[in-house]
Structures are given as structure tokens and as C-alpha cells.
Amino acid sequence: MRDSELADIRNLPLFRSMTEQNFVSLTRAAYDQTFPPQVKLIEEGAMADFLHIVVEGSVELFAGWRDRETTLAVVRPVSTFILAACIKDAPYLMSARTLEKTRIILVPSVDLRATFRIDPEFAMATISELAMSYRSVVRHAKDLKLRNARERLAAYVLRQSQMANGAVGFVLPIEKRLLASFLGITPESLSRAMKSLQEVGAKVDGQRVIITDRKALEAYAQPTALIDGPEYEGSAGFDLPDARAEAEAIGL
């Protein structure tokens, strides 16, 4: 494992406060691996043998039932995922696949469980991480149950804008079919919802989103911290990655 990666991992809220000794032994037990795009890393139902940490690339967390599939999150560097399954020593509830060439650190969950037994600071960090993840999924459930498709999309656009420091324009960080699946709708519905956003203050052109009337969009989406975040520290959060702000789009 490279030093720069180690430093990045060490800096995650989950690992930041543990003793150096425990961090070293935990990461020594770990190994890293690089995967091509579209490789299934985890099959839901399998036993949770490893905590995963994305250090390069991106990973989709999804779940299936019968012939249906839904995206639950897209994870970007540097973040951990499927912590809860590792802790409970239980089957994964989600599958994971790489979206691009991706580098993953794998920490055996047995070492993980051993470590927070002996390192109180790590235990505290784990508690904090899990509480955050929990709240994140609760927000997702509220979003799904309280808003319709267009409202969810509008709120998503405002969230992305927020994360891009309030930028008026940004580029969608993921494919639209993934966004649709995350929002719980079909790509066709997303397409239509995007067009209809023009009536309430946002325009989508290809990958580019531009907020044409923030007041109107906010009046429509009624964003609230109790559904839309803010999301906290960079890990297993139940959300999609930040949009990169579009320099050109600012000031439109």
C-alpha cells in the first residue's frame, strides 16, 4: 500500500483517532487491489469478510430483487463502505460494483472487530460513523416517502449546488441512469422530470445543470436539513458524490 494512501486512510474520521500501533497492525492485515470497470466486488447475501475502502475510482452500491435493481449509493475516494455488515458479521445487504478502474483496500472484518475491542478511540469513531450512516439512510427513506420524483430531483439539484459552494451551474457527477436509480425512478422518468424542472428554475443540458431561478427552485423543492443534509464526514454516507462546480457555468 502506498504511503499517500495510508495517509488518506489515516485521515478518515473512522481511523483518525486510533493509536498508531493499532492503525499499523490493522493496515498490515489489509491488502489492496485494483479492479477494472464493472467488476462485482460484493454480492449481496455473501458474508461480510472485509471492510472496503475506495482509494481510487468509484463504486456503486446497489441491491436487487427478482429482476429489479436499485442504486443505494455511489462511493468515491476516500471512503469506507459496508461497515455495518462487517460489525454484525452478517451477510451484506447490498452488492457493490466498480464503475471505473478502481483501487480498493480490503480490511479483514475479523481484524476490525478485534481492533475496536482494544482501542476505545476506534470504538468511539465507529459509533460515530455508524450513527452518521444510519441518519443518512433515514434521510434517504424520508426523501423517498415524502417527495415525488420531480421534488426529489429538484432537491438533489439544490444539494449538489450547495456542495459546489452554491454554484449556479455544475456537472452531474454520475450517469443519469444511476441518478434515476438512486432517486427510485426509471431513466425515462428522470428525463421528463429534468425537462419539467425548467418550469421551476433549473435547466439540464447534457451533463450540465444550471439553476436559472434559485428562489423558485427552493420554493418548489423546499430543502430542509432534516432530509437534505448537510452530509457530514466523507464516508459511508448514503448519498451520491459531489458535483464538481463548473467554472464556466458560474455567473450564467
CA distance 72 to 95: 10
**Binding residue for a copy of itself, selected from 145, 205, 206, 215, defined by CB under 8 A:** 145
CA distance 34 to 124: 30
Of 95, 66, 39, 60, residue with least CA distance to 177: 60
Q: Is 99 in the site for DNA (CB under 7 A)?
A: no
Q: Total number of residues binding DNA (CB under 7 A)? A: 21
CB 105 within 8 A of CB 32: yes
CA distance 197 to 56: 33
**Binding residue for DNA, selected from 11, 34, 148, 224, defined by CB under 7 A:** 148
Q: Which stretch binds a copy of itself (CB under 8 A): 79-87, 167-175, 202-210, 240-248?
A: 79-87
Choose between 20 and 67: whose C-beta lies nearer to DNA. 67
Q: Is 197 in the site for DNA (CB under 7 A)?
A: no
Give the CA distances from residue 221 to residues 34, 153, 181, 201, 229, in Å, rounded to whole numbers and listed in that order: 40, 8, 19, 10, 14
Residue 139 binds which of DNA, a copy of itself, none (CB < 5-8 A, kind-dependent)? a copy of itself
Query: Cβ 59 to DNA, closest distance in Å?
Result: 16
Q: Is 189 in the site for DNA (CB under 7 A)?
A: yes
Q: SS3 for 238? A: coil
Q: Is 14 in the site for a copy of itself (CB under 8 A)?
A: no
Q: Is 191 in the site for DNA (CB under 7 A)?
A: yes
Residues that bind DNA (CB under 7 A): 148-150, 175-178, 184-195, 204, 206
